[in-house]
């Protein structure tokens, strides 16, 4: 069954990566040659292992770094258009989808609504003086992963971030610049579209953050 679940994971991930669209359970069952109930069971197991997030209607909402609805970021390649799960994930997509050498990541400032976009490729960080804000500490990321993703956003400036914090009542989380965001995204999902894939355990994830210059209590898992 482990092999089947990995096949199901790979099918959904590669379909979303290739088309930007969520395939159906029937498509997965037909392609893999298994009953649909086996696919549903596999999706439940993948969600339990934190590869996917499934809503109350049984729909895949997040297949990191991809989303199936807006979380504030669009990612437009030369041939494919995706939703990005959050700031890190949106910048990660061009790094893992080999057929797309670049993508335009677009969003709006949560404070003032100003539009921002970056041409993200694998050669180096794009220019930009915006402020990336992580509201939820990494150790609490999965307490409510939808909330976490919805609140990992990019602001025009510190002033916009301060205005948003004052309006929402949230406390300041952690901030980075665009160059650090690109470096953080560069290898975060290495191997995601290959098999076998293993998520980083908390120790390795914390070491990865530290290697990108992000350490301290907020980044500890």
Give per-residue burial for 101-121: e unless 16+ CB within 10 Å, then b. Answer: eebbbbbbbbbeeeeeebebe
Q: Which residues contact 113 (CB under 8 A, 6 or more apart)?
A: none
- CA–CA separation, 15 vs 188, rounded Å? 20
Q: What is the pLDDT of residue 40?
A: 96
Question: Phi/psi of residue 154, each to 5°?
Answer: -120, 130
| Domains recognised in the chain with CATH numbers | 2-63 (1.10.10.10), 70-210 (3.30.450.410)
Among 201, 133, 116, 204, which Cα is nearest to 170's?
133
Q: pLDDT in tens for each of the 221 residues of the chain?
A: 789 999 999 999 999 999 999 999 999 999 999 999 999 999 999 999 999 999 999 999 999 999 999 999 999 999 999 999 999 999 999 999 999 989 999 999 999 999 999 999 999 999 999 999 999 999 999 999 999 999 999 999 999 999 999 999 999 999 999 999 999 999 999 999 999 998 889 999 999 999 999 999 999 87
Q: Taking a C-beta distance cutoff of 8 angstroms, is the pair 98, 122 a contact?
A: no
Q: What is the pLDDT of residue 132?
A: 98
Question: Residue 35 corresponds to which tokens in the numbers above?
Answer: 């009953």
Q: Taking a C-beta distance cutoff of 8 angstroms, is the pair 29, 22 a contact?
A: no
Q: What is the pLDDT of residue 2?
A: 83
Q: Which residues contact 189 (CB under 8 A, 6 or more apart)?
A: 64, 65, 89, 92, 95, 96
3-class SS shares of the chain: helix, strand, coil, % to 5: 45, 20, 40
């Amino acid at each position: 069954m482990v092999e089947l679940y990995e096949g199901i994971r790979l099918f959904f991930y590669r379909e979303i990566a290739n088309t930007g669209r969520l395939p159906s359970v029937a498509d997965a069952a037909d392609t893999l040659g298994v009953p649909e109930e086996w696919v549903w069971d596999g999706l439940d197991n993948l969600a339990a292992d934190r590869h996917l997030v499934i809503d109350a209607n049984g729909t895949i909402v997040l297949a990191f770094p991809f989303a199936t609805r807006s979380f504030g970021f669009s990612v437009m390649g030369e041939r494919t258009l995706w939703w990005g799960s959050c700031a890190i994930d949106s910048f990660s997509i061009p790094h893992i989808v080999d057929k797309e050498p670049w993508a335009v990541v677009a969003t709006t400032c949560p404070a003032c609504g100003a539009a921002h976009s970056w041409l993200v490729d694998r050669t180096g960080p794009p220019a930009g003086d915006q402020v990336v804000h992580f509201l939820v500490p990494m150790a609490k990321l999965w307490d409510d992963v939808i909330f976490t993703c919805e609140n990992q956003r990019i602001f025009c400036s510190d002033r916009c971030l301060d205005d948003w914090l004052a309006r929402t009542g949230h406390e300041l989380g952690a901030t980075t610049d665009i160059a650090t965001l690109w470096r953080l995204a560069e290898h975060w999902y290495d191997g995601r579209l290959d098999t076998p894939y293993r998520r980083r355990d908390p120790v390795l994830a914390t070491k990865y953050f530290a290697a990108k210059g992000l350490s301290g209590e907020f980044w500890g898992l």
